[in-house]
Chain A
């Protein structure tokens, strides 16, 4: 699928043609360099590897630098592969801009690393509503999970029981957002709705509207 790497900038809103105020996420999408094209014969699957976002050369490892040099690319921060994307007439070293990959109205999926919330309780993590009242004698289990199962039968806790634990900081994909606006001169696109991760986080944007 066609796609590019972006950086989440923040959220704002725009008015659409019928006057509704639409919440949008601003994503910076700089021009990416194709660093490698993987094909079924050589690698067992088809993919395009892109490098994006400038980084100082002293801050990348020599192995990464060697790989980027092969494609004639400057030092880059992010290298990401897009599977099943067979670019017509493109080869390693070529550049992809926003307008090459996206147009206004396209449907996209966005994948990124969600905000880490650490070891979170069941109320935050699973939307439990807590136990009982704040008053009437109860004093210490307002945000507790409550019962987690039976007693001597079944004498265990079932697998998959929703409990407290690590929440966030995982890969999350949001599907079917659409592109509200493209500002090529500042290399920015506006996507309807919210996307995973903090401002400044890197995200993959996959275009579902285009083939190839």
Chain B
């Protein structure tokens, strides 16, 4: 089993910044349109992370107009060009599925104080 873990470690991309559920992130996603490739941006709140090693994914939720949109990204997808952490959120659980029931002001997340901490 240890050897499998070693191999998986070598497959995992480590170019993404650290973020957890509750954080607001902006994802630069490569989109292929025919021959051309361009970058699409997608910004929202991370509401869940699941899996480990090469199969790790995170779910990002945003409100597009009045409609909630959720996208699941694999951490190791070659299509993710860049991830910017826009805001650190203060939340008390790892999965924020309760946000789906909330709208507007109720769906806000308090900002986490990251001062004095390393990164």
Contacts and interface: CB of A to CB of B under 8 A. Distances in A.
Interface stretch (B5-13, B16-24, B64-72): B5-13
A19 interface: yes
Contacts of A199: 1
A26 B4 contact: yes
Interface in A11-43: 12-15, 17, 19, 21, 26, 28
A14 B54 CA distance: 7
Nearest to B7: A26
Contacts, number: 41
Interface in B52-96: 53-55, 74, 76-79
A186 B5 CA distance: 12
Contacts of A190: 7
B118 interface: no
Contacts of A188: 3, 7
Interface of A: 9-10, 12-15, 17, 19, 21, 26, 28, 183, 186, 188, 190, 199
B79 A10 contact: no
Contacts of B1: 10, 199
B77 A12 contact: no
Contact of A26 (B3, B55, B77, B79): B3
A28 B78 contact: no
Nearest to B2: A9
17 contacts: A9-B3, A9-B4, A10-B1, A12-B7, A13-B54, A13-B55, A14-B11, A14-B54, A15-B54, A15-B78, A19-B77, A19-B79, A26-B3, A26-B7, A183-B7, A186-B6, A186-B10
Interface of B: 1, 3-4, 6-8, 10-11, 53-55, 74, 76-79
Contacts of B77: 15, 19
Looking at chain A's contact residues, is the secondary structure mostly helix, strand, loop, or mixed? strand
Given A15-B77, A15-B78, A19-B79, A10 B4 contact: yes
| 3 nearest A-B pairs in the assembled complex, by CB-CB distance | A10-B4, A9-B3, A9-B4
A199 B7 CA distance: 15
Nearest to A185: B10
B78 A9 contact: no
Contacts of B55: 12-13, 21
Contacts of B54: 12-15
A188 B8 CA distance: 12
A67 B55 CA distance: 45
A12 B11 contact: yes
Contacts of B11: 12, 14
Contact of A183 (B10, B53, B79): B10
Given A14-B54, A19-B79, A9 B7 contact: yes
A52 B78 CA distance: 36
A19 B77 CA distance: 6
Contacts of B53: 12
Instruction: Determine which residue in B53, B54, B55 has the highest number of CB atoms from chain A within 10 A of its CB, and name it.
Output: B54
A9 B7 CA distance: 10
